Amino acid sequence: MQAWEKGWKDTVLAFPGEKVKIIIRFPANNGKFVFHCHNLEHEDAGMMLNFEIQ
């Protein structure tokens, strides 16, 4: 693992066919959140999603 790959990130680079696992730490309170890809063409492929933690 390269030094720049270590530590917390808010952006993940994934190439076609790759799988990426992420760990997300949420605040203690419940709420609505969103994740998305910065490539707008990917929205239709499910790379933009709202979700709620209760």
- List pLDDT tens digits, range 5-51: 788 777 888 888 998 888 878 777 788 888 888 788 888 887 888 98
The strand pairing partners of 31, in sequence order, are 53
Give me the DSSP letters along 4-54.
Answer: GGSS--S-----TT-------PPPSS-EEEEEE-SSGGGGGGT-EEEEEE-
Residues near 12 by Cβ (< 8 Å), separated by ≥ 6? 20, 22
Query: Containing domain of residue 13, as a range?
Result: 3-53
Q: What does the pLDDT read at residue 18? A: 92
Structure pTM?
0.49
Instruction: Give the number of domains in the chain.
Output: 1
Residue 4 has pLDDT above 80, yes or no: no
